[in-house]
Amino acid sequence: MTPAAVVAAGVATPIGLDLDTFWSALCTGVDGISGIERFRVDDLRVGRGGEIKKLRAPRDGRLPRCRASALLTLAADDLLARAELDADPARVAVVVGTALGGVEEGDRALAEGGVRVAASGLYDSPAHTLARRLRVRGPVVTVSTACASGATAMGVGADLLSAGAADLVVAGGYDVLCRFVMRGFDALRSLTREQVRPFDRRRSGLLLGEAAALVLMARDADMSRPRLGRLLGHASSSDGSHIAAPHPEGRGLEHAVRNALAAAGVGGDAVDFVSAHGTGTPLNDRIETAVLRRVLGPRAASVPVNAIKGALGHTMGAAATLEAIMCLLASRDGVVPGTAGYEEPDPACDLDVRGTSRAARPRVSLSTSLGFGGCNAALVLEGTA
């Protein structure tokens, strides 16, 4: 594929409401997990997560009442502070991924009524709010490949650029912590009462988080300004095996990873760093390890791997975009953030994972994502190292 330039990024996360704070917190091991305060959790087994406690005021106007749109607004403000949308507004596309859309508004609509609230419950509403906020008139696309959405959205964005259907793309993902999703994961018993420990022997489940993450993408050939890096390749796949659980051998994920590497024109031997999906569930981390061992071969044990969900929870639709941004910042600054919660190696997850940040300057990174419905996605990114 034709590489896409990643010009700049903006975020709103539990460990920082802007890119610099987020990155600093990730590198220094700040814990973004706390007791959830925004809604009732006393009837749930687990009431903790990566909740953003206080939203800051937006650059202009007021924050939308819909929290998903509010998080996207803050991430967009952060992005626009770092890069201009210097293109014809009709040629700027918005592609955002989400697992939950505005479902919290749907929940509220059932309780309170109202037309506007009900309309906000449609999953594509926040993307349109973002497009209006950015004053752009190009394609507005909402992707919902569950927790792989942020990666798929960046892939669709790259395709829009490559096809000449847009000159700039604001791509990324978001999701909010709300009772709907907490009740769901609580009922599934996927949430841990302990610390999230990706790839650790004692890992016992995930915790959810909320965030929005956006990147500005452009055709690499058009670039005359500095950039964070490039998206070299992307791919998605379906497991076709189970409605909620990943394929037991990770065949779908392997397919996505191999196709993303092929699209990037590189082999597994070129991968310097892996940002794993790393939810901290016993099954996910074991499957991902097996896939990485098959794709990277003997090098799998020595390629640095991390998972940032221990620090801020699983931010669902935002997760893959945050992880892609992290890959590019690692390359820029020569630091690979540690995997919060990782202390005891698991023989079934014999990868090069560390609990604390380390000096490393990866040029080519691989980012993997999985989601409900057998969704898999992989991104191959190149930093500025």
Residues that bind other proteins (CB under 8 A): 1, 43, 90, 98-99, 101, 103, 106-107, 109-110, 113-115, 118-119, 121-124, 128, 137, 139-146, 152, 156, 159, 162-163, 165, 180, 183-185, 187-189, 235-244, 251-252, 255, 259, 263, 371-376
Q: Of 144 and 331, which CB lies nearer to other proteins in the complex structure?
A: 144
Selecting among 27, 66, 147, 349, the annotated active-site residue is 147
Residue 191 CB-half CA count within 13 A: 21
Selecting among 234, 247, 255, 277, the annotated active-site residue is 277
147 noted as active-site residue: yes
Q: Of 7 and 156, which CB lies nearer to other proteins in the complex structure?
A: 156
Q: Of 223 and 244, which CB lies nearer to other proteins in the complex structure?
A: 244
User: Considering the complex, what minimum distance in angstroms separates the CB of residue 266 from other proteins?
Assistant: 16
164 contacts: CB under 8 Å, gap ≥ 6? none
Tokens for 9, please give them: 């990024």
State whether residue 187 is helix, strand or coil: helix
Selecting among 234, 247, 255, 314, the annotated active-site residue is 314
Residue 168 CB-half CA count within 13 A: 20
Q: Of 102 and 341, which CB lies nearer to other proteins in the complex structure?
A: 102
309 contacts: CB under 8 Å, gap ≥ 6? 196, 198, 206, 207, 209, 278, 279, 280, 315, 319
Report the first-to-last Cα separation within the chain, whole angstroms. 21
Residue pair 199/279 in contact by the 8 Å Cβ criterion: no
Report CA-CA distances (Å) from 191 to 93, 181, 196, 304, 361. 36, 11, 9, 27, 33
User: Considering the complex, what minimum distance in angstroms separates the CB of residue 110 from other proteins?
Assistant: 6
Q: Of 30 and 262, which CB lies nearer to other proteins in the complex structure?
A: 262
314 noted as active-site residue: yes
Q: Which of 275, 272, 278, 270 is nearest to 349 (CA)?
A: 278
Q: Measured between alpha carbons, how far is 116 from 107 in angstroms, rounded to an integer?
A: 13
Number of helices and strands (H, E) in the chain? 11, 15
User: Considering the complex, what minimum distance in angstroms separates the CB of residue 109 from other proteins?
Assistant: 7
277 noted as active-site residue: yes
User: Considering the complex, what minimum distance in angstroms separates the CB of residue 316 from other proteins?
Assistant: 10
User: Considering the complex, what minimum distance in angstroms separates the CB of residue 370 from other proteins?
Assistant: 11
Residues in the chain, total: 385
Active site residues: 147, 277, 314
